[in-house]
Structure 1
Amino acid sequence: MAFYQYFKAQVIDASKAELWDFISSPRNLKLITPDHMGFDITSSHAEEKMYEGMIISYEVSPLLGLKTEWVTEITHIRDQEFFVDEQRIGPYVMWHHQHILDVIDGVVVMKDIISYQPPFGFLGAIANSLFIKKKLDEIFDYREKAVDDYFGKVDSTQMTIV
């Protein structure tokens, strides 16, 4: 069984409340996902704010333009601090994504911690080495730029984010 964790942190030029309003709205996911992934929310209630127990369905093309269904549940929320989405239907054996907002040295930091298990046992481990990890880097690099474009870029080169 191959199990991995992916971590990304970003300093945001916004208040915690502004950032929370943005990331807690499912409709904004499309704004921060690369176009080539063909990301579309198929849930009829995507205009709502997230709540615990919310089920959100998507179509996405993560590889070779092939559409796949992805269904997540929002399992935990602490207002303006964090929320967790977990895959219920999708390409992974397990997917647990923590979205955490923190204030470090007076600036807002958004952290993503993804714990995941690819399908197909040892073949999934090979796939992670060859392209899954790279695809996550690509998606979160795009997300970082999109969030910077939305809120404004912050120079965080002198910060240590843990």
Structure 2
Amino acid sequence: MNTKSMIHIKFSSGIYTLSVKQKLAIPINHAWQFFSSPKNLALITPPELGFVITSGMPDDMYAGQIISYQVSPLAGFRTNWVSEITQVHHEKYFVDEQRIGPYKMWHHEHHFKSVSDGIIMEDKVSYQLPLGLIGRFAHFLFVEKQLRNIFRFRAEKLHTLFGCPNES
């Protein structure tokens, strides 16, 4: 595993599932501190999305926490996105779910596993687009590519920040 992280998207029963796995040279406690802070979201999001948090940000993540932000998924189009942190298991995983935003459904699981030379970070995003067949066509035209680019950007940024175990 390296900065090219493995990105897979499947479709079943009307739901897309994006899976990403990346290994980073960072201890679990530092990884948790970084990923559980909304302050770091903009740093690992492509600049062209214009990601801006519009809500306050407490220091510690907790179940029930609401985070609102604005994002530009399409050039010239800005939208509000509101997520709720629904589950938190310290240094193991957390889950955020879209409450308001461009998707019909968005459920994002962030998993962390400590290994001898760092961590393995896995993301699983289950999502649905609105508008039925039009949404599926939009997924084919640009949504899948955009999601792959977002997670590719993130993987490269994380590799730059934390390195990849066993690099020479």
User: Fold conserved (TM > 0.5)?
Assistant: yes
The partner residue of 2:96 within 64, 78, 85 is 85
Structure 2: distance between partners of 1:154 and 1:140: 19
Relative to structure 1, the CA distance from residue 155 to residue 36 in structure 2 (aligned partners, 3 Å threshold; closer, same or farther) is: farther
Structure 2 counterparts to residues 96-111 of structure 1, below 5 A: 96-104=107-115, 107-111=118-122
CA RMSD of aligned residues (A): 1.5
User: What is the identity, as a one-letter code, of the residue corresponding to 1:95?
Assistant: W
Q: Which moved more, 1:1-10 or 1:50-59?
A: 1-10
Native 8 Å contact 1:99 1:112 kept in 2:
yes
The partner residue of 2:53 within 32, 38, 41 is 41
* Structure 2 residue runs without a partner (length 5+): 1-12
Question: How does the TM-score come out when normalised to structure 1?
Answer: 0.90
* CA distances 1:88-117 after superposition (whole Å, capped 9, x unpaired): 000011000000002356541110100000
CA-CA distance at 1:155 after TM superposition: 5.1
Structure 2 counterparts to residues 1-162 of structure 1, below 5 A: 2-44=14-56, 46-104=57-115, 107-154=118-165
Q: Specify the SS of the correspondent of 1:20.
A: helix
Question: How does the TM-score come out when normalised to structure 2?
Answer: 0.87
Aligned pair count reads 155
CA-CA distance at 1:48 after TM superposition: 2.2
CA-CA distance at 1:52 after TM superposition: 0.5
Q: Which moved more, 1:142-151 or 1:90-99?
A: 142-151
